[in-house]
Structure 1
Amino acid sequence: MPERHCAREAPRIGGDVKWLSCGTEFIVADVIRWREPVWKPQPRHSKKRPVITGHRVITGQIVKIDRGGWVHIEVTACTVEPAPQWLRPLYPLKRGEAIRRQRGKIGQGKIDRMAWSDETARAAIVGSRFVKV
């Protein structure tokens, strides 16, 4: 049987990592993890219903947040969970790849952020009036 190009186990970063639920409240330098659907490609003006081919669990570090609400993320780990009816392989994003997502769309996918070693430093950054988050 040919080897499938998808990982089914959750990415492991570090040892015992504590993840905190954060919604859309994240800042630059946070490491976040969320789950997003993978859709079957189709023409722009297709009248067919979109089909979910699986889900991706992406872990990455936030590099930059634009004024337009776009979040630039560097991927550190990615796993793929194909849908049961989808037989073709789904490929995970490559490590180190830069992706861009809307802040609100990431927040829809049950987003978690990795706890900082010093949460008081993060609280100081978030509370600062000089840093736009």
Structure 2
Amino acid sequence: FYSIELLPHPVLDQVSSIEGLRSVVAAFSALIGGIFGLVVQTTYRRLEQQVRQMPLDVLITRGIGLVVGLLVANLMLAPLFLLPIPKEFGFIKPLLAMLCSVMFGFTGINIADTHGRAFLRLVNPNSLD
């Protein structure tokens, strides 16, 4: 119920009943949360079904690719946090770190997906035909 405190004061001055506004905000929040929950649940179930049908060697190579991609992202982002950036633009460092981590993780998964069988043959030549 405290979400109405985030509204600007000119908007709150136009409201005659704060309790009514709280009820409306709570109802819309519940509606949006319910829709978001249904979307996340169906997406999760679809992804879980795809993972269950995926071969084990593909899962292993994609997992290794994700880990390697995230390691490379963290190694490349370490010098970024040492750069002097003004406080007004302080949001750039975490935003760039998040975007680079997602990008390098996704790139690692794609590279592992493309060259995963060759990687597994390097580790164990008898693992795949």
Query: TM-score range with shorter-chain normalisation?
Result: under 0.3
When you count strand as a share of all residues, which structure comes out higher?
1
Q: TM-score normalized by structure 2?
A: 0.19
Higher RCO (CA < 8 A, seq sep 6+): 1
Relative to its length, the structure with more helix (as a share) is 2
TM-score, normalising length: structure 1: 0.19
